[in-house]
């Protein structure tokens, strides 16, 4: 069972490396774009400066993922680092993004099989060969996939979709929801797929996800609809593919979840992309 591919097929994950080298002194990344930041530290010492309290000191090779926009400041002396913008599908209801903490800090040694990718990422980033930018961007995206895979396998995140995908019972039901959002799922059907009673399934889902199975199903449907709108699909074609009888029914649910009608939301997304 592939737990991650539905997120990559329905929501855009992109990365763009904007710095590679030896970082010295104090450096700040500002929340000027609707994207997060990925920092891969291969050597040196990195101090994360907090607004209050003592700085957090990173002394070993580590990946730092700021999944959402937010200002952060580092102080370093000769740290060897690669930094990238990361976008989980700006503006969409991507449950994977919603479940990630504001900062995920993972030692590189804790992520199995990551070393070859890190070596290749730094080799491409520090050289000036043809196609360098395209190469490092794709490697950063692959790095993100490996990190998310490890977050599920190693249960690095407590609560939300990442934790639910780590659960052998809940992950089965989620796989069915992700594969067939158009289906009129019942609690009994989802519980059967999960191999649990209805009561136990509903209770575990709520405790892990913080929402009921049908609340999650609705959010997934709207998130998929958002992605299809951004790809140019007409609303009347999207509606049946995500479980709505008509474009009007989808529009009403969309407005309830997002706070604005589908086409107004799409216009705002397109405006943000060209700013």
Q: What pLDDT score was predicted for residue 49?
A: 83
Nearest C-alpha neighbor of 73 from the set 97, 52, 90, 94: 52
Which whole-number Å values give the CA distances from 229 to 18, 33, 61, 91, 220, in the listed order? 29, 21, 40, 12, 14
Q: What pLDDT score was predicted for residue 26?
A: 66
Query: Could you tell me which residues come within 8 angstroms of residue 127 by beta carbon, excluding any fewer than 6 positions away?
Result: none
What are the residue boundaries of the structural domains of the chain, listed by start? Answer: 5-153, 167-275
Q: What pLDDT score was predicted for residue 69?
A: 80
For residues 255 and 218, the answer to whether their CB atoms sit within 8 Å is: no
**pLDDT tier at 207 (50, 70, 90 boundaries)?**
very high
What backbone phi and psi angles, to 5 degrees, belong to 154?
-100, 5
Would you tell me which CATH number, out of the four given (2.60.120.280, 2.40.50.140, 3.10.20.80, 3.20.20.210), belongs to the domain 5-153?
2.60.120.280
Q: What pLDDT score was predicted for residue 274?
A: 58
Would you tell me which CATH number, out of the four given (1.20.1260.10, 1.10.10.60, 3.40.190.170, 1.10.10.10), belongs to the domain 167-275?
1.10.10.60
Which whole-number Å values give the CA distances from 227 to 44, 95, 146, 231, in the listed order? 40, 13, 23, 6
Over residues 104-109, mean pLDDT: 92
Name residue 65's beta-bridge partners: 38, 104
Bigger pLDDT: 176 vs 34? 176
pLDDT tens track for 213-250: 999 999 999 999 999 999 999 999 999 999 999 999 99
Nearest C-alpha neighbor of 18 from the set 140, 144, 143: 140
pTM, rounded to two decimals: 0.88
CA angle in degrees (0–180, nearest 5) for 202-100-154 = 80
Q: What pLDDT score was predicted for residue 110?
A: 87
């Amino acid at each position: 069972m592939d737990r991650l591919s539905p997120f990559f097929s329905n929501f855009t994950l992109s990365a763009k490396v904007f710095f590679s080298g030896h970082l010295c002194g104090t450096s700040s990344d500002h929340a000027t774009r609707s994207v997060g930041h990925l920092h891969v530290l291969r050597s040196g010492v990195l101090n994360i400066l907090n607004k209050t309290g003592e700085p957090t000191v990173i002394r070993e090779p580590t990946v730092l993922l700021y999944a959402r926009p937010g200002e952060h400041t580092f102080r370093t002396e000769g740290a060897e680092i690669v930094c990238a913008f990361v976008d989980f599908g700006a503006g969409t209801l991507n449950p994977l993004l919603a479940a990630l903490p504001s900062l995920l800090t993972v030692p590189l040694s804790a992520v199995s099989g990551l070393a070859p990718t890190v070596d290749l990422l730094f080799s491409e980033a520090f050289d000036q060969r043809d196609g360098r930018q395209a190469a490092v961007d794709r490697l950063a995206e692959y790095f993100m996939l490996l990190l998310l895979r490890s977050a599920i396998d190693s249960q690095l995140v407590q609560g939300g979709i990442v934790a639910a995908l780590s659960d052998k019972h809940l992950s089965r039901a989620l796989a069915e929801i992700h594969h067939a959002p158009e289906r009129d799922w019942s609690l009994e059907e989802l519980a059967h797929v999960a191999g649990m009673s209805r009561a136990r399934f509903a209770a575990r889902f709520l405790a892990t996800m913080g929402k009921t199975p049908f609340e999650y199903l609705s959010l997934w449907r709207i998130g998929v609809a958002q992605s299809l709108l951004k790809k140019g699909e007409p609303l009347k074609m999207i509606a049946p593919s995500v479980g709505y009888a008509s474009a009007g029914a989808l529009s009403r649910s969309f407005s309830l979840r997002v706070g604005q009608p589908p086409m107004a939301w799409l216009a705002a997304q397109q405006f943000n992309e060209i700013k």
